[in-house]
Amino acid sequence: MIGEYTMNWYLVYAKPRGEQRAQANLEAQGLEVYLPQIERDKMLRGKKQKVEEALFPGYLFVRFDPSQFAVARVKNTRGVAGMVQFGAHMPVVPSAVVLSIMQQLDDLNEIPEVTNDFTAGDKVIVTEGPFAHLNAVFQESSGENRCFILLEMMGKQQRLEVEQAKLAKQGD
């Protein structure tokens, strides 16, 4: 069994903040490398910006055949701290697991981003869920695709966090 049949995924851990360097150097040696990344909002210099971060900080998946490519070469690659091992045993990561992570990240990236066209004080109506058809007042965004509203219930205004996609401006 030579070639494709003995190619397996292994887990490599990178030096601190060295995932990209390890990925580039491993790929330069002809290895298949997968660094799962997720896009998220982060405050940088007081502004909210989208950044890509490693889903598993410090870890990369590398696909190779240890009988054809020396494990020592992987371990000695710039940016690599070592291989995940249990004693002398290097566990194989099933291809199905890596493919599942790839698919889930692809699906996650296909979620449409909700545009925030609400400002504090806007009168809104809840369009879905247990509070559907109730009037509310938009307060503020609370994170990715969620927001706070004030909902009139039992003679009091209740502050709730809801998905922004479940709101519409009154009069629209």
The pTM of the full predicted model, rounded to 2 decimals, is 0.62
The class that CATH gives domain 123-169 is: mainly beta
DSSP 164: G
Per CATH, is 3-109 categorized as 3.40.50.920? no
For the segment 15-25, the average pLDDT, to the nearest whole number, is: 95
Tens-digit pLDDT profile for residues 143-170: 767 889 998 877 788 898 888 888 888 8
Give the residue carrying structure tokens 């109730």.
134
pLDDT tens, position by position, 81-136:
999 999 989 999 999 999 999 998 887 766 555 555 788 899 998 888 888 888 89
Distance separating alpha carbons of residues 78 and 21, to the nearest angstrom: 7
Q: Determine phi and psi for 52, rounding to 5 degrees.
A: -95, 130
Quickly list H helices, 14-170: 19-28, 71-75, 95-109
Q: What is the pLDDT of residue 141?
A: 84
What residue segments make up the domains of the chain, in order of their start? 3-109, 123-169
